[in-house]
């Protein structure tokens, strides 16, 4: 049973791929249709601007998805962020030469492997194997080897993707940072995500009397609630809007 939520008293943190929208063959194939954009706009207003998309995507990719909306966004698993209401931008400092070197090694390695795709980001490097699922262990082993060579980086596992992320940040550190300032401060945190990259954020929210919501049917997860699909989440978010407005949702 999903809890009732008063959005004006909530800080809403939403992952993107596999959460708000279904997973696609490539990140570039994902888009926000007008229904989703209108929903996000309504949620932004209902939460009094305490809505933020928290994604592993690069910051520019998030901004492109949300156009023409200007929303609070956290990219690269917490490394970058933008709060439009204050004009604040941030990016965790990293060794750019080291990051470039790791990215180039991943590109060169994947060029020799059919069906693999590198997604270089400002603060992480992802290798997707959705088109070549039999390469899962191969990709995991290669990136684990790179992580041993570069202890500042940790291996993250997503859905048909492995990623090297700098250890100085996470989705949890980003949410903790946002919850310390307006308009998120003194509200109940709600984190919604769909894979293992969201577990640290679920754990942080659980420790701070919030609501953690996992989208999918594959476990295990430390989230306290779950819904099977992004479509079910959209319906739930619409119900929270109705509840917050004192209106009974139509069925």
Give the active site residues: 15
Report CA-CA distances (Å) from 144 to 21, 52, 116, 197. Answer: 29, 31, 16, 16
Find tokens 């779950």 and name the residue. 226
Closest CA to 241 of 2, 10, 13, 6: 6
The residues facing 163 across adjacent strands are: 126, 156
The residues facing 11 across adjacent strands are: 189
Closest CA to 154 of 145, 143, 165, 139: 165
CB atoms within 10 A of CB 70: 12
Which token pair is 54? 């928290």
CA 189 – CA 204 distance, rounded (Å) = 9
């Amino acid at each position: 049973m999903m809890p009732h939520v008063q959005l004006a008293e909530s800080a809403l943190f939403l992952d993107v791929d596999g959460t708000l929208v279904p997973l696609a063959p490539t990140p570039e194939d994902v888009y926000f249709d007008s229904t989703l954009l209108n929903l996000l706009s309504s949620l932004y207003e209902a939460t009094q601007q305490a809505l933020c998309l928290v994604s592993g995507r690069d910051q520019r990719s998030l901004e492109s998805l949300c156009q023409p909306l200007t929303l609070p966004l956290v990219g690269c698993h917490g490394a970058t962020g933008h709060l439009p209401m204050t004009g604040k931008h941030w990016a965790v400092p990293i060794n750019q030469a080291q990051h470039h070197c790791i990215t180039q090694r991943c590109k060169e390695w994947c060029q020799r492997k059919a069906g693999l795709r590198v997604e270089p980001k400002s603060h992480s490097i992802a290798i997707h194997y959705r088109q070549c699922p039999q390469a899962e262990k191969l990709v995991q082993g290669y990136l684990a080897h790179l992580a041993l060579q570069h202890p500042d980086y940790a291996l993250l596992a997503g859905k048909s993707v492995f990623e090297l992320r700098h250890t100085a940040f996470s989705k949890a550190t980003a949410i903790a940072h946002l919850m310390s300032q307006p308009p998120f401060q003194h509200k109940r945190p709600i984190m919604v995500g769909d894979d293992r990259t969201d577990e640290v954020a679920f754990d942080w929210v659980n420790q701070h009397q919030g609501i953690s919501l996992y989208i999918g049917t594959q476990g295990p997860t430390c989230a306290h609630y779950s819904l099977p699909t992004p479509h079910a989440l959209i319906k739930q978010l619409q119900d929270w809007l109705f509840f917050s407005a004192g209106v009974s949702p139509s069925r």
